Each structure stands twice: as C-alpha cells, then as structure tokens.
Chains A and B, each alone.
Chain A
Amino acid sequence: MTIKEIQQDIVDEFSMFDDWMQRYEYMIELGKSLPLIDDAYKTDDNLIKGCQSKVWVHAELSDEKLLFTADSDAIITKGIIAILIRAFSGHKPQEIINADTAFIDEIGLKEHLSPTRANGLVNMIKQLKMYAIAYQTQLN
C-alpha cells in the first residue's frame, strides 16, 4: 500500500465515529497498541523538542525502507504518533519526503496542527520528514 492509500484507510476508520470522544478513544487505543521503542533509543537525542509531553522517535533503514518506532509518556500524544507511524513507517525515504499530511485534518485532529500547540504534532511530522531527508541523502 502506498502512503496515500494507508492515509485513506485511516480517514475511513475515523469517519465511522460521530463525535470527538469516540475519535479520541480510538486514538488512545491506537496509542496503546503502538510498538514500543527499544529503551536504548529513549535518549535525549531522540526526543522531539517542543512537546509538553515527551516523545521519542527512532528511525532505521531496512531494505531501503525507513522504519519508525516511538513512544510517549502521554497517551494521546502516543496515539497521534502511532497514526503518523502507521502512515509513514515502512516506506522509502523519498516517498515520506513527498507525502502530504492533509489527512490529519480529515480525521478531525486539525486543532493539533497549530504550530503553537503544546503537543507538537507539527514537530513530530517535521522530525519524521527530517529522518527521511537524512536517510535519502545517505542513499544518494
């Protein structure tokens, strides 16, 4: 599946919910099912700046595809990063660089997109893309 297709899947899943509470409950579930990052990678270097809660993201290249793992000490933040990882992990760096993030708006998380928002969704996306750019440079 392409990133676009996965994003559409996520949008479809979220469209089943009538209100924010169900959406958040689902997001919390996604957060709980997030594959945990290896403790060795929970370092300050892997911490995303600008979040009120802590978010660690680790990236590694496998078979020319970028794999992300992450964790957060706050469960809603964990849900958000889980959604991002589902959309982006396992794809080629160039595909990640090119991917747009409009689906965040479509699943009703627009309020988290404000750059001044303390949970730093914008910073998370930026960080994932930064990893993609760094690994793409390696591949070139």
Chain B
Amino acid sequence: MFDINKIREDFPILKRKVNGYPLVYFDNAATSQTPKQVIDCIVDYYSNYNANIHRGVHSLSQEATDKYEQARNKIRGHFNAARSYEIIFTSGTTHGINLVANGFGSFLKEGDELIVSAMEHHSNIVPWQMLCERTGAILKVIPMDENGELIMSSYKELLNENTKLVFCNHISNALGTVNPIEEIIQLAHNVGAAVLIDGAQACPHLKPDVQKLDVDFYVASAHKMCGPTGVGVLYGKEEWLNKLPPYQGGGEMIAEVTFEKTTYADLPHKFEAGTPNICGGIAFGAAIDYLNSIGMEEIMAWEHELLEYATKALEEIEGLRIYGTSKHKTSVISFNIEGVHPYDIGTIVDKLGVAVRTGHHCAQPIMDYFKIPGTVRASFAFYNTKEEIDVLVAAVKKAHLMLA
C-alpha cells in the first residue's frame, strides 16, 4: 500500500529547513532526492568492498565486480532489455546521447537527414547539430502546438528514405508532455531510420519496456530516479551497439593492445573505457530496487493526483498561465504570471523554503515558441504532498502580491 508518511521517512533531506522554513522540494525534474536505502548502499560500498572491478583477482575486486554486474542486470530487468550487455553504464543521459551521436557519424553522409522534436533539452539538440556540422547531414524539426504536443502529421511529412535517425524525448522536461514514442518509433522504422529516445524525464515516473517499444537506443540518468549523480544508462539494441564504433579509448574497453593494432572488447565493455563510477552504478541498482519496492504504477498514480491538485490550485491565481497543457503529461507544471518575471517569483518562493526551477530549462526553442524568457517550473515526486502544494500556492500568491 502507498503510505506517503512512511515514504517520506526514507528521505532524510525532507526534514531540513531552508531559509528558516521547512523545505518544500519541487525541483524533482532537475534532480530527485535520495532515500536512505540508496545512501546506505553508498556507505556500504565505501565501507566494505571498495575496489576496482573486472581486473583484480583478489576477493574484494570480485565482490565489487559482482555487485556492479548485478546492478547492470537489475537495470536490464527494469527496462526489460533482452541482454545485460545491451545495458551500457554512462555518466548520465548527456553522455549516452553523445556516445551514440559520435558513433553515428560513421554511418552518415552529406544529405542524410536527422529528425529532432521541437521540445528537446539542449543535450538532445547540440550533439546532433555538431554531428550534422561534421557530416553534412541535415537536421529537421517536428513542430509542436499550443498545448505542447508534437504535430504528428508534420512528422510523417518529414520522414523519407533519407531519414537516418530520429531522436526525441519520452517526456518533455519543460512541459511534462508524454510524447507518443511508440508511434514515433514505428513510423521511423517504416522508412528504415533508427530512433533514440531520451528517457531522462520519463524514468522517474514509468517503466519503459525497450523490447515492446522496439526502440534502438534509450538513455536515462540515475539522479532523476532517486539514484546518485554522475551515472546513467544507455540501452542499445545489440546489432546497433556492435555496429557503433567505440566512443572513448582506454583501459577496460580493449581485448588486445599492441602498437600496431588494438582490438576492442565485447559489449558492454567496448563502451566503458576506464574505471567507471562503480559505486554510482551499484547505487543506481539500489535506487531501482527502491522505486520498484514502492511500485511505478503507485508512483504514477500519486504524482497524477498531485498534478491535478496543483494545476487546479495554481489556475485560480489571477494572470497565471500554465505552459504544457497536454492531456498526457507527468507531474511538471511550467507557469508564468502575467507581467512578472519567472526569476522574481523563484527568488521570493525560495525565501519561503520552496525550491522550484526558473529559467529556460535548457529548452530555449520551447521558450522561443511561447515568446517568453522562461518559466517557473514546479515538478513533483512521489514523496511530495498536497500540503506542500498548498505551501507553494501560498508562496506564489505572496510573491505575486510583492511583485505586482
């Protein structure tokens, strides 16, 4: 059973005060908080079996290796990948995207086309722009509408036999829109294009089934899923990962090295040069265990309740506009109040202990679309409460009074 009070007990940070007020943490879309189960796992690693992996013959190294590979397998299970070597540990979503973008360059020629959605995070735009500059490929954009939904008829028109790769987020970080990725993937496959889905914002809320989606690449970050920062995952279909050249050279990723020639290690090690974030990978596994102990469906249901509650309360504030009004959205509310700069609202509510994000959320094209400098973004997690939303609403009202 979903017991919010019991869940909150798991998060030590939720007890602290900020600027003299109890912390209300609504910046979950940027980074989630860490439950003691994950913190304990980190302490356990450094206290009991900290060692380098895959190399040592000694017991400690073997223990660390086993735990790291167990974590990989947990992640495999969570994403329902067919094989654990299709799970590549990365430093985060951005790293995963760059890894694929860099390798994909060897398949592209001038005039090939890549398709991106209009609501991407900069990290899912810039690496591809760099790739286009390098290869002469062309970047095309799926437009969005006033509700913050992709215009699928335009997407269909963009697809053709020159399309080589489509990349799109599963859920928009700035708007919360859940994109119809099943359809996006299928349509791309119909013209022979591969698809990369940025799942950074989706994985805190739902469990993607990479086999059912038939997606070619799926990337996510641990730190948005109650795990530590600096670790993430790239899922890739085996045939794609075999085709892609290595991203970084170094130890761990080689089979044999002479000065004449190096042969690369098998998957997944081919893409994991150097000593990885061992503790981070293991703690990522602990975070996934934690999320599953609560249940992704229960998490989604509670967050949906919070979203509806907050949307209704915020909409009652005069002059407040919410950006991203898709029926399919997660617990993210981006808003502005007429005549007030989002930065000002963020500053005042912070003084009242409420942590929200302000700015363009690394998604400037979305802000340009709505012709605004940025928004205030409140993003809720399963450990948040309706009482905290009441605090946010009161803080926003107070800010509005002061600033108007």
Cβ of B351 and Cβ of A20 under 8 Å apart? yes
Q: Which of B224-232, B303-311, B319-327, B342-350 contacts A (4 or more CB under 8 A)?
A: B342-350
| A-side interface residues, number (CB < 8 Å) | 15
List residues of chain B with CB within 8 A of the CB of A24: 348, 351, 402
B341 interfacial contact with A, CB 8 Å: yes
Cβ of B343 and Cβ of A52 under 8 Å apart? yes
Cβ of A119 and Cβ of B343 under 8 Å apart? yes
B245 interfacial contact with A, CB 8 Å: no
Cβ of B358 and Cβ of A75 under 8 Å apart? no
B359 interfacial contact with A, CB 8 Å: yes
B199 interfacial contact with A, CB 8 Å: no
B374 interfacial contact with A, CB 8 Å: yes
Residue from the list A28, A73, A118 in contact with B359, Cβ < 8 A: A118
Cβ of A75 and Cβ of B403 under 8 Å apart? yes
* With A74-B344, A76-B343: A52-B402 Cβ-Cβ less than 8 Å: no
| B-side interface residues, number (CB < 8 Å) | 14
Bound form: Cα–Cα A76–B358 in Å: 14
**Binary contact readout B383-404 vs A (1 if CB under 8 angstroms, 0 otherwise):** 0000000000000000000110
Residue from the list A20, A25, A73 in contact with B341, Cβ < 8 A: A73
List residues of chain B with CB within 8 A of the CB of A77: 341, 343-344
Interface residues of A in 72-87 (CB under 8 A from B): 73-77
A40 interfacial contact with B, CB 8 Å: no
A49 interfacial contact with B, CB 8 Å: no
List residues of chain B with CB within 8 A of the CB of A134: none
List residues of chain A with CB within 8 A of the CB of B373: 53-54, 73
**Binary contact readout A103-137 vs B (1 if CB under 8 angstroms, 0 otherwise):** 00000000000000011000000000000000000
A21 interfacial contact with B, CB 8 Å: yes
| Closest-CB distance, A121 to chain B (whole angstroms) | 12
Bound form: Cα–Cα A53–B360 in Å: 11
Cβ of B402 and Cβ of A28 under 8 Å apart? yes
Cβ of B351 and Cβ of A52 under 8 Å apart? no
Residue from the list A21, A25, A52, A75 in contact with B374, Cβ < 8 A: A52
Cβ of B341 and Cβ of A21 under 8 Å apart? no
List residues of chain A with CB within 8 A of the CB of B19: 20
List residues of chain A with CB within 8 A of the CB of B343: 52-53, 74, 76-77, 118-119
Residue of A20, A21, A75 ringed by the most chain B CB atoms within 10 A = A75
| Closest-CB distance, A108 to chain B (whole angstroms) | 11
List residues of chain A with CB within 8 A of the CB of B347: 76, 119
| Closest-CB distance, B281 to chain A (whole angstroms) | 29
Bound form: Cα–Cα A119–B344 in Å: 10
Residue from the list A21, A53, A73, A75 in contact with B351, Cβ < 8 A: A21
Interface residues of A in 31-76 (CB under 8 A from B): 52-54, 73-76
| Closest-CB distance, A47 to chain B (whole angstroms) | 13
Residues of A within 8 A of B (CB): 20-21, 24-25, 28, 52-54, 73-77, 118-119
Known: A24-B348, A24-B351, A74-B341. 14 other contacts (CB 8 A): A20-B351, A24-B402, A52-B343, A52-B358, A54-B373, A73-B341, A75-B341, A76-B343, A76-B348, A76-B403, A77-B341, A77-B343, A77-B344, A119-B343
- Name 8 interchain pairs, CB-CB below 8 A, sorted by A: A24-B348, A25-B402, A28-B402, A52-B343, A53-B343, A73-B341, A74-B343, A77-B344
Shortest Cβ-Cβ A-B pairs, 6 listed: A74-B341, A74-B343, A53-B343, A52-B343, A76-B344, A74-B344
